[in-house]
């Protein structure tokens, strides 16, 4: 991945984190990694734990950012969530998987779409 793509992704993750925090969610982990991959954000929403995938795209030539979360990515996130929960002392009431789609605009504010319980 190029440095420019990494910078765009990091920008999207910062905006997504701020957006979710403004909604009352509490960040438990950022870019949590293990041998199987990475979860962008892990948050607490009341008594629930939320595993959040953040997708940032500068345009829609390849579809919306949320469309990049395909079946393979969903399966990987579910596996990563199981690993994180097995290591955690938290026992959430519910587990949820959200997607935050970030699309910078050439003019005006960046568009942020929060898809709760996306899968």
Predicted local distance difference test score (pLDDT) of residue 44: 98
Q: Which residue in 31, 55, 34, 56 sits closest to 43, CA to CA?
A: 31
Using 50, 70 and 90 to split pLDDT, how confident is the model at 98?
very high
pLDDT digits 0-9 by tens, 2-40: 898 899 899 999 999 999 999 999 999 999 999 999 999
- Name the least confident of 32-46, 50-64, 88-102: 50-64
pLDDT digits 0-9 by tens, 59-85: 777 888 999 999 999 999 999 999 999
Name the one residue in this structure whose structure tokens are 């935050």.
Answer: 100
Predicted local distance difference test score (pLDDT) of residue 2: 87
Centre a 10 Å sphere on the Cβ of residue 33 and count the other Cβ atoms it contains.
Answer: 10
Predicted local distance difference test score (pLDDT) of residue 95: 98
Domains contained in the chain, CATH given: 3-115 (3.40.1350.10)
């Amino acid at each position: 991945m190029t440095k420019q793509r990494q910078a765009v992704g990091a920008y999207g993750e910062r905006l997504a984190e701020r957006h979710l925090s403004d909604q009352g969610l509490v960040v438990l982990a950022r870019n949590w990694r293990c041998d199987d991959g990475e979860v962008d954000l892990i948050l607490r929403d009341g008594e629930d734990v939320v595993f959040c995938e953040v997708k940032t795209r500068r345009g829609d030539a390849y579809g919306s950012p949320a469309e990049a979360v395909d079946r393979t990515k969903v399966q990987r996130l579910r596996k990563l969530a199981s690993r994180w929960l097995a290591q955690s002392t938290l026992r959430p009431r519910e587990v949820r998987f959200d997607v935050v789609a970030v699309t910078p605009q050439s003019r005006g504010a960046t568009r942020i779409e929060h898809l709760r319980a996306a899968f």
